[in-house]
Amino acid sequence: MLTLYRTEKPTIVPADTLEAGVWACLTAPANEELAYVADTLGIDFDDLIAATDPEERARVQVEVGYSLVIFDVPIAEVRNDVETHTTIPLGVILTNDCVVTVCSAEAPVLELLVKGRMRDLDTAKPINFLYHVLYQNALMFQRALSAINWRRIRFEERIGSPASEANLIGMHELESTLVYLSTSLRGNANMLRRVDRSARIRGTEEDEELLGDAIIENQQAIEMAQIYHDIIDGTRELFSQVMEARLNTVMRRLTSITLILSIPTVIGGLYGMNVKLEYMPLALTEHGFAIICLVTVIICVVLSYWLWRKKML
């Protein structure tokens, strides 16, 4: 889908034609829309479609008449009934007087632009536009990481619940998400350094400060991802240890119960042997059966109390 916007301070409004000062937003675009933008702005079709490849890496490419910047942006998704995040490439193409964004899905960072939540954003200033997107994208990574950490805390609150197996799967999904985010953040860090060193992608002094802020925020997001990954790894180990301890407790109790039940089994087996009655204690005694049953119960109760004192029952 191709949508055109332009800045009318202090908001961003839809535009009718692709002309100077317009932002062309391509979201899951059709080939016809890509061809229209490529022909109108003189952009190579392959460069325009590059960001729609989910495996495309973050990079900076300078061509005659335009510059291409591709970086990863976080989006929410659900895997194994767990709300997590993943990343997809977003391409920003800067021409002399227009800016084009290309993405295979709706990117939350672009929604912020459309809603006019970025101060001093001007679609007629492509470099300023790019720096604003890079800065807000770093902040969105931080929000995604904070959401992951919040879900980790929720999992920890249920660490003693019977559904720990499901919690363990959920922790694994969060850990996998952190791997994806960390990889994308490192790729974005390399891209930001390339942008900072590029002579073609240079803005005003104020713009350069915004780029510096984006680099700092991205580095902070990398450090957050590493910290949260270490914490989640430790939490997952804790889940495993709790489940193992719970299994050991069940096995210990089953062993204790088996030991208690073996007492009447042994006594019953002895009195069931094919020997003369006079050789069996209490076999010829009045109420002998009741006495034997009572002795068996007493032995079982004493053994149960001893096992309980030893915390084995």
What is the domain range of residue 233?
2-245
Question: What's the CATH code of the domain at 271?
Answer: 1.20.58
| Residues 181 and 271 placed together within one structural domain of the fold | no
- Kindly tell me if the per-residue pLDDT of 98 is higher than 80: yes
| Cα(8)–Cα(110) distance, integer angstroms | 17
**What share of the chain in percent tops pLDDT 90?**
7
| Cα(163)–Cα(171) distance, integer angstroms | 13
| Residues 136 and 256 placed together within one structural domain of the fold | no
| Residues 228 and 262 placed together within one structural domain of the fold | no
116 against 73, higher pLDDT: 73
Q: Once rounded to an integer, what is the mean pLDDT over residues 80-93?
A: 82
| Cα(313)–Cα(304) distance, integer angstroms | 7
Residue with tokens 């829309």: 33
| Residues 25 and 131 placed together within one structural domain of the fold | yes
CA distances from 230 to 144, 152, 198, 234, 237 (A): 17, 12, 35, 6, 11
- Kindly tell me if the per-residue pLDDT of 116 is higher than 70: no
What is the pLDDT, as a whole number, of residue 231? Answer: 84
Q: Which of 82-86, 89-93, 159-163 has the lowest mean pLDDT?
A: 159-163
Tell me the β-bridge partners of 86.
75
| Cα(149)–Cα(97) distance, integer angstroms | 41
Give pLDDT tens digits for 12-39: 787 888 888 888 888 888 888 888 888 8
Where a domain ends, among 245, 261, 280? 245
| Residues 79 and 212 placed together within one structural domain of the fold | yes
* Both tokens assigned to 29: 């675009």
pTM of the model: 0.76
Q: Which range among 112-116, 141-145, 147-151, 161-165 has the greatest average pLDDT?
A: 141-145
- C-alpha closest to that of 130 among 222, 63, 207: 207
| Residues 59 and 138 placed together within one structural domain of the fold | yes
| Cα(112)–Cα(109) distance, integer angstroms | 5
Question: What's the CATH code of the domain at 25?
Answer: 3.30.460.20
Q: 1, 29 in Cβ contact below 8 A? A: yes
| Residues 235 and 276 placed together within one structural domain of the fold | no
Q: Once rounded to an integer, what is the mean pLDDT over residues 203-215?
A: 83
295 against 272, higher pLDDT: 295
**pLDDT category, 163, cuts 50, 70, 90?**
low
What is the pLDDT, as a whole number, of residue 160? Answer: 63
279 against 95, higher pLDDT: 95
Give pLDDT tens digits for 231-283: 877 777 777 777 788 788 888 888 888 888 888 888 888 877 777 777 778 77
Domain count, the chain: 2
**pLDDT category, 159, cuts 50, 70, 90?**
low
Handedness of CA 12, 61, 70, 106 (dihedral sign): positive
| Residues 240 and 257 placed together within one structural domain of the fold | no
Q: Once rounded to an integer, what is the mean pLDDT over residues 90-113?
A: 86
What is the pLDDT, as a whole number, of residue 217? Answer: 92
- Kindly tell me if the per-residue pLDDT of 220 is higher than 90: yes
| Residues 239 and 265 placed together within one structural domain of the fold | no
| Cα(33)–Cα(49) distance, integer angstroms | 11
**pLDDT category, 165, cuts 50, 70, 90?**
low
Where a domain ends, among 211, 226, 245? 245
**Residue 304 CB neighbour total at 10 angstroms:** 17
Give the DSSP per-residue string, the chain.
-EEEEEEETTEEEE-SS--TTEEEEEES--HHHHHHHHHHHT--HHHHHGGGSTTPPPEEEEETTEEEEEEEEEEEEEETTEEEEEEEEEEEEE-SS-EEEEESS--HHHHHHHTT-STT--TT-HHHHHHHHHHHHHHHHHHHHHHHHHHHHHHHHTTTSTTHHHHHHHHHHHHHHHHHHHHHHHHHHHHHHHHHH-SSS---HHHHHHHHHHHHHHHHHHHHHHHHHHHHHHHHHHHHHHHHHHHHHHHHHHHHHHHHHHHHHHHHHHHTSSS-GGGSTTSSSTTHHHHHHHHHHHHHHHHHHHHHHTT--
Give pLDDT tens digits for 34-71: 888 888 888 888 888 888 888 888 888 888 888 889 99
**pLDDT category, 216, cuts 50, 70, 90?**
very high
What is the pLDDT, as a whole number, of residue 287? Answer: 79
**What share of the chain in percent tops pLDDT 70?**
94
On the CB side of 45, CA atoms within 13 Å amount to 9
In the predicted model, what is the mean pLDDT of the chain?
83
| Residues 274 and 226 placed together within one structural domain of the fold | no
**Residue 146 CB neighbour total at 10 angstroms:** 12
Where a domain ends, among 207, 227, 245? 245
- C-alpha closest to that of 211 among 128, 139, 141: 128
| Residues 72 and 212 placed together within one structural domain of the fold | yes
Residue with tokens 């939490």: 235
| Cα(157)–Cα(306) distance, integer angstroms | 35
| Residues 149 and 278 placed together within one structural domain of the fold | no
